Structure 1
């Protein structure tokens, strides 16, 4: 079981494996990841809202992101005008095996990869229907990029992907970062919210 803000560290270490970006660097207030992509040059994962104001003043470069654990109003209060807040996300955890899910008729499931990273794809007639990734870091399965194509939603494919990923990972503790829409879906499957996460960015071209 992962507890407290160990969840943030577990999640970020799995996320960098899933996204094939450089290893996270521990900072006094959280973590830094040098992502190196257009519009997403670097991200800071902050443990609590008091860290926001000093970071917002000192790292407000285009392409920089802050993602902060804590209440939205407290995070927003620390931002300077360069920053654009994004919709709240949710750091969530699950303990135990991911429940099994039946594959609907007409769909095929493929599992690829090996420790520490696996992917699952679901197809219908050779066309993509759903997919996702999981990376194991420090004994925690970090689920990432779980997507069902619009034409194939409401058929339980997300559950199929989650179960197959969990089986591949083979560890009892799991974490993910959910959008507002995903938060409700994962909550219905038994996932628990560990913390709100409030993203903010300085867009490229802002200076």
Structure 2
């Protein structure tokens, strides 16, 4: 299986592994583009646009109007950061928070770090706990999963989307009252089985807490993921 690069040419799968899949600083730009494309599909956002050595995604939400995402630190990231002074605009990079802080002007606020992770090996199987049911909806390349109680209360939900040979897990959430019952595990397992391409790369972004959970499911970190924005004015 090959990924498509920004000009529509095939990128051999082994190339992606050599250039960014096995280190913790920086990510292959073609892989990043595929990930952002799948994420935009899952969230019904504009497609990523190549800019300044990274990608711009117009999000248009109350919390965020636009984000620039970079595969690694570069002059383009610094140029974008210097000319932005309005809130609700985010800069993200597949590097550590410390590296991003050192590259940004003082008026930028660094957020909690995250981790880019990929599936590594078979996912252990688990049965859905008693008292819950699961519903799966497919809309083109996007899959949504909902786990509800027998009384109809939403307990867990998540999305998956596929683009250019990459399957992205997005907005995986379990309600606090329903945690420690394996619902997140079953949700991930269901999305995994819904992939259109069984050979696709499986990616997600995890918090520190989430990283611990996903590692128990056979996932591994492939890059740091730092984020910053301008808070208030």
TM-score normalised according to structure 2 size: 0.82
What displacement does 1:71 show?
A: 2.3
The answer to whether the 8 Å contact 2:145/2:157 transfers is yes
The answer to whether the 8 Å contact 2:97/2:227 transfers is no
Match in the other structure for 2:202: 174
What displacement does 1:95 show?
A: 4.7
2:41 equivalent to 1:17: yes
2:102 equivalent to 1:74: no
Match in the other structure for 1:160: 186
What displacement does 1:128 show?
A: 0.7
CA 1:148–1:14: 2 relative to 1, 3 Å: same
Matches within 5 A, 1:51-200: 51=75, 52-95=77-120, 98-125=123-150, 126-171=152-197, 172=199, 173-200=201-228
Match in the other structure for 1:49: 73
- Which deviates more, 88-97 or 134-143? 88-97
1:74-108 alpha-carbon deviations (Å, 9 max, x no partner): 11101112211100011111156544321111110
The answer to whether the 8 Å contact 2:147/2:155 transfers is yes
CA 1:101–1:50: 2 relative to 1, 3 Å: same
CA RMSD of aligned residues (A): 1.6
| Pairs aligned (count) | 205
Alpha-carbon distance between aligned partners in 2 of 1:134 and 1:166, rounded to the nearest angstrom: 8
Alpha-carbon distance between aligned partners in 1 of 2:141 and 2:102, rounded to the nearest angstrom: 38
* Structure 2 segments unaligned to the other structure (5+ residues): 1-12, 21-27
* Structure 1 segments unaligned to the other structure (5+ residues): none
Alpha-carbon distance between aligned partners in 2 of 1:117 and 1:95, rounded to the nearest angstrom: 22
1:27-82 alpha-carbon deviations (Å, 9 max, x no partner): 24211001111230000001212344222102332210011111221111011122
Alpha-carbon distance between aligned partners in 2 of 1:55 and 1:192, rounded to the nearest angstrom: 31
Alpha-carbon distance between aligned partners in 2 of 1:193 and 1:184, rounded to the nearest angstrom: 10
The answer to whether the 8 Å contact 2:142/2:160 transfers is yes
